Amino acid sequence: MSMLHIVNKSALDRNSLEACVNHTIKGATILMIEDAVYSAMKNTASSSMVEGAMKDVSVAVLGPDLKARGISEEKLIDGVTVVDYAGFVELTTKNDTVQSWL
Amino acid sequence: MATIEVNGKQLEVDEEGYLADLNDWVPEVAEVMSKAEDAELTDAHWEVINFLREYYEEYQIAPAVRVLTKAIGKKLGKDKGNSKYLYELFPYGPGKQACKYAGLPKPTGCV
Amino acid sequence: MADVKKFLYVNRKAPYGTIYAWESLEVVLIGAAFDQDVALAFIDDGVYQLVKGQDTKEIGMKNFSPTYSALGDYDINKIYVEKESLEARGLTIDDLQHLVWEDEDDDWAEKDSIKIVTASEMAEIMDQSEVVLSF
């Protein structure tokens, strides 16, 4: 079983990313959309949590939401993949289940 | 929603006559709207309408009258940057009337 | 001017994910008509509002970041950004838009509107405000 976790809130405003990270198992994917895209940035107060999680899970971030917020890809944690809307759909079909952390 | 006919096309407007979608705007929109209010558009009117469109393009808002007046004065000269000049051109209010002709939303804070 | 009060608008939310940032900006612009002494504070996720290079084409929302550049026209030139909030988000002042205002009393010289302040300085600014509006 593989699970796609979708997070849409800033980790420095809400604890939904932290809750998500605490409930992922090896092989899962976390997709950051909307205000959660800031959590894919390096050198932030939540970066080490994400970097730690990336030992077991892969992290993707929605490109259009990054662009909207003026965050360039070189500001992202190494290893984070940027996906477009088609990539978003692909992730939902590729994984067995999807969980949204509101 | 109400519509106005411009170049044979029906364009949606809100209850006060402002264009619903500013991307619908063509110069004929201003002609049709001004005719409906018995106003005739001169070069002086167009100077203000074009200024408003440029302002919106840059800042994504329709400026308050005070801001419009100051900015017009800076761009087009002191003789035009005063409310008397602007109200003579747009007696229903330079904010309301000129923004409407320019296809912009009603200025933020304008009642 | 009869009764000028010191207003402080406190912005703590990122743009686009919620409506607070745009609502705040609209209220600031409307409020500017009342000739009060207005300052804006950006703390926590609010600092994201001022990040330069925003491009919302692909998410189908209005990009209101250019509107911050109009604040100078509205005589709003005290924009305080909290240092600790920037640092926690991996940002520096170079990641923010360059906002300026023109000083009428100084031959229209362009001056910076944004001032980076520490959390304790921000606390003082809040303390000295007469009306605080939070978004």
What domains appear along chain A, each with residue ranges and CATH number? 3-101 (3.40.1260.10)
Contact yes or no for C51 and A8 at CB 8 A: no
Q: Looking at chain A, which residue has its C-alpha nearest residue C14?
A: A35
Residues in C touching B58 (Cβ below 8 Å): 66, 69
Look at residue C1 and tell me if it is in a domain: no
Look at residue C84 and tell me if it is in a domain: yes
Q: Could you tell me if B63 and B89 lie in one domain?
A: yes
Contact yes or no for A41 and C53 at CB 8 A: no
Look at residue B97 and tell me if it is in a domain: yes
Counting as contact any 3 or more CB pairs under 8 A, the partners of C are A, B
Q: Could you tell me if B87 and B60 lie in one domain?
A: yes
Report the pLDDT value the prediction gives residue C1, as an integer from 0 to 100.
Answer: 54
Rounded to two decimals, the ipTM of the complex is: 0.94
Tell me which DSSP letter residue A9 carries.
Answer: S
Domain hosting C40: range is 6-134
Mean pLDDT of the A50-67 span: 98
Any CB–CB contact under 8 A between A45 and chain C?
yes
Domain hosting B79: range is 43-101
Report the pLDDT value the prediction gives residue A7, as an integer from 0 to 100.
Answer: 98
Q: Could you tell me if B25 and B49 lie in one domain?
A: no
Judge whether B99 counts as a catalytic residue: no
Print the SS3 string covering chain B: CEEEEECCEEEEECCCCCECCHHHCCHHHHHHHHHHCCCCCCHHHHHHHHHHHHHHHHHCCCCCHHHHHHHHHHHHCCCCCCHHHHHHHCCCCHHHHHHHHCCCCCCCCCC
Q: Could you tell me if B47 and B92 lie in one domain?
A: yes
Residues in A touching C52 (Cβ below 8 Å): 70
Contact yes or no for B59 and C67 at CB 8 A: yes
- Estimate to the nearest angstrom the gap between the alpha carbon of A79 and the chain centroid: 11
Q: Cα(B47)–Cα(B101) distance, rounded to whole angstroms?
A: 12
Q: State the catalytic residue, choosing from B74, B83, B110, B111.
A: B110
Whether B109 shows a pLDDT value over 80: the answer reads no
Contact yes or no for B58 and C66 at CB 8 A: yes
Residues in B touching C64 (Cβ below 8 Å): 60
**Would you call C134 helix, strand, or coil by DSSP?**
strand
Look at residue B93 and tell me if it is in a domain: yes
Q: How confident is the model at residue A1 (pLDDT cuts 50, 70, 90)?
A: confident
Mean pLDDT of the C37-66 span: 97
Look at residue B107 and tell me if it is in a domain: no
Mean pLDDT of the C16-36 span: 93
Tokens at B72, concatenated: 């017009």
| Residue of B60, B75, B78, B106 for testing the chain C interface, max C β-carbons within 10 Å | B60
Q: How confident is the model at residue B111 (pLDDT cuts 50, 70, 90)?
A: very low
Tokens at C19, concatenated: 């409506």
Task: With residue A81 as reference, give the H or E element that holds it.
Answer: strand A81-83
Tally the domains of chain B: 2
